[in-house]
Amino acid sequence: MPNNNLTITPEPSRIIGKVIIIGSVILIAVVVALTAIFFWRRYTKVASIDSQIINEQQLLKAEKVWKDNLNQLASVDKDFDNLTDVEEKQSGTDPTSPDTDKDGLLDGDEVQIHKTDPLKADTDGDGIVDGRELRDGTDPLKK
């Protein structure tokens, strides 16, 4: 009677061969997985740095726009009297009136050219308003 068990039961060398194959498959899988994790981490790190740079650029852009707006706001002269709204606030004049004290001289001309008081129609108090003095050739700063 032939021994069928011999053909069914794997030889010890075959078992070892199978173990080696399974072992190397597991090893390869682990190596592939580790490599994948390594590259994934590296990629996500690079991506997060990229997004940080983009955020910084956006921030710089926003800051520039804000500064431009601020500069534009500072250079606005609503009433065209040669004083910007910001300068009018500093000198106390009305940014919506080109001649706050109604003496015939523009606020900007009083501050920058004639050195007269843009808030006083008659800077030197002699009874003649600044605009009239300049037209008459008298000094609006001296009585």
Q: Which stretch binds Ca ion (CB under 5 A): 21-29, 33-41, 57-65, 105-113?
A: 105-113
Rg (CA), the chain: 44
Q: Contact between 79 and Ca ion (CB under 5 A)?
A: yes
CB-based contact 128:122 (threshold 8 Å): yes
The three-point CA angle 44-45-47 to 5° equals 60
Q: Contact between 109 and Ca ion (CB under 5 A)?
A: no
CB-based contact 98:107 (threshold 8 Å): yes
CB-based contact 109:92 (threshold 8 Å): no
Nearer to Ca ion, 61 or 102 (CB): 102
Residue from 35, 83, 89, 142 that binds Ca ion (CB under 5 A)? 83
Q: Contact between 126 and Ca ion (CB under 5 A)?
A: yes
CB-based contact 126:120 (threshold 8 Å): no
- Measured CA to CA, the distance from residue 45 to residue 88 in angstroms comes to 53
Report the site for Ca ion in 58-77 (rule: CB under 5 A): 77
Q: Contact between 116 and Ca ion (CB under 5 A)?
A: yes
Q: Measured from the CB of residue 55, what is the shortest distance to Ca ion in angstroms?
A: 39
Report the site for Ca ion in 8-67 (rule: CB under 5 A): none
Q: Which residues bind Ca ion (CB under 5 A)?
A: 77, 79, 81, 83, 99, 101, 103, 105, 116, 122, 124, 126, 128, 130, 133
